[in-house]
Amino acid sequence: MIPSVLPTYNRAPLTFVKGEGSWLIEADGRRFLDLGAGIAVNALGHAHPALVAALTEQAHTLWHVSNLYRIPQQQALADALVAATFADTVFFTNSGTESCELAVKMARKYWFDKGETERTEIVTFSGSFHGRSSAGIAAAGSEKMTKGFGPLLPGFTHLEFGDHDALRDAVTDKIAAVLVEPIQGEGGIRPVPDHCLKGLRELCDATGALLIFDEVQCGMGRTGKLFAHEWAGITPDIMMIAKGIGGGFPLGAVLATEKAASGMGAGTHGSTYGGNPLACAVGLKVMEIVADPAFLDDVNRRAALLRQRLEGLVAAHPEVFESVRGAGLMLGLKCRAPNADLVKAGIAEGVLTVPAADNVVRLLPPLTLSEDEIGEAVTRLDRAAAALETAPA
């Protein structure tokens, strides 16, 4: 018989009943150090007092009003995002994949309104992940996500990640946009080097193609800048965000320049819940905390410490690990042992990590992970790796 919850997830046998900062507490009382943070969602850890206060205050006042009316919390959050980024305008969604939907629509509408109605093709990359909506799976294009779900949304050209020649050939003045994660998350913590992001910006400028960044996972302070592309000193035309911006409350957004958004007038797009007062009250508080340069300095300091300790861990277990990669607090342990085995051994030692493609174990801890917790994390990962070494093959 089919389970009452549609069985689309492969769940670990763990039931968490409470969260406190970087820790999750299981129903049986065990405490787990959470280095997954809901896959980069709980950016400020669990039950952060400032977020609890923002949410409860809003909950006592007004939960939902339609986008038929003005929503001050939404306006304030849009103003904060515009002030802190390249963007001139923001549309709020409830998730990353909804942000993908709008990014795709916006890019196509831009060319449509210019009279270039054939200019609909969007270039994407192998190993990418843009969510599970029809546009999201068509954009990523992997067999794993698309098989059986055809006919797929047309208009995506899939390139091999890192193939510069193919990229130069593909991005012509017939292309609507290029869509890329500055650091692939699901794809195995694969950063696009800064000089490649710069080159991509130049290619888009030369051809007119719009540049869309998917910062759903790598954004919101994750890499030690508010957004990952800031390290490369360039900006996109459109950016998708979600995950960390809501700190655990469902919230996403599409940020865009005035030019890129020029086709999106009244009636062209909408969402019942997108930008609702509860989500935006929380998102505003997350922005207030994470966009503070002092907070980001501190993230960078602790990220450097974690990176250094992980390099030591890799060196101590050459049979289990190959290398560390990523940026800030978006780190991947490239494994020699099967990544799923390490995740499982971690659970036995009370530390939660997330598997990714390319045999990588992802570490996406709360941005608030303390120095003591970094020590604890590495100790537990060290025990997990040791357990794999001694386990019979």
Q: Tell me if 194 is assigned to a ligand binding site.
A: no
* Interatomic CA distance for residues 33 and 378, integer angstroms: 11
Burial class (CB in 10 A: 0-12, 13-18, 19+), 393: exposed
The minimum distance between CB 279 and ligand PLP, in angstroms, equals: 13
Q: Residues 357, 188: contact at Cβ < 8 Å?
A: yes
The minimum distance between CB 373 and ligand PLP, in angstroms, equals: 23
Please, which residues bridge with residue 363 across strands?
331
The minimum distance between CB 88 and ligand PLP, in angstroms, equals: 22
Q: Which residues ranging from 232 to 291 are in contact with ligand PLP (CB under 6 A)? A: 242-243
State the amino acid at position 144 in one-letter form: K
Among 68, 58, 13, 80, smallest CA distance to 270 is for 68
Q: Tell me if 380 is assigned to a ligand binding site.
A: no
DSSP state of 192: P
Q: Is 214 in the site for ligand PLP (CB under 6 A)?
A: yes
State the amino acid at position 194 in one-letter form: D
Burial class (CB in 10 A: 0-12, 13-18, 19+), 272: exposed
Q: Tell me if 108 is assigned to a ligand binding site.
A: no
Residue 43 — φ and ψ, nearest 5°? -60, -30
By CB under 6 A, the count of residues binding ligand PLP is: 14
Q: Which residue stretch of 51-59, 179-187, 264-272, 382-390 sits at the interface with ligand PLP (rule: CB under 6 A)?
A: 179-187
Q: Is 42 in the site for ligand PLP (CB under 6 A)?
A: no
Q: Residues 250, 279: contact at Cβ < 8 Å?
A: yes
Among 58, 85, 97, 339, binds ligand PLP (CB under 6 A): 97
Nearer to ligand PLP by Cβ, of 186 and 373: the residue is 186
Structure tokens at 116: 């270039």
* Interatomic CA distance for residues 329 and 304, integer angstroms: 9
Q: Is 181 in the site for ligand PLP (CB under 6 A)?
A: yes
Among 217, 223, 353, 359, binds ligand PLP (CB under 6 A): 217
* Interatomic CA distance for residues 140 and 368, integer angstroms: 31
Nearer to ligand PLP by Cβ, of 46 and 243: the residue is 243
Q: Is 130 in the site for ligand PLP (CB under 6 A)?
A: yes
Q: Tell me if 216 is assigned to a ligand binding site.
A: yes
Q: Which residues ranging from 300 to 359 are in contact with ligand PLP (CB under 6 A)? A: none
Q: Is 191 in the site for ligand PLP (CB under 6 A)?
A: no
Among 45, 96, 182, 283, binds ligand PLP (CB under 6 A): 96
Q: Is 216 in the site for ligand PLP (CB under 6 A)?
A: yes
Q: Which residue stretch of 123-131, 261-269, 304-312, 339-347 sits at the interface with ligand PLP (rule: CB under 6 A)?
A: 123-131
Q: Give the CA angle between residues 113, 118, 122 to the nearest 5°.
A: 95
Continuous H helices in 317-349: 339-348
Q: Tell me if 97 is assigned to a ligand binding site.
A: yes
Q: Residues 50, 289: contact at Cβ < 8 Å?
A: yes
Q: Detail the residues annotated as belonging to a binding site for pyridoxal 5'-phosphate.
A: 96-97, 129, 214-217, 272
Residues that bind ligand PLP (CB under 6 A): 95-97, 129-131, 181, 185-186, 214, 216-217, 242-243
Q: Detail the residues annotated as belonging to a binding site for N(2)-acetyl-L-ornithine.
A: 132, 271
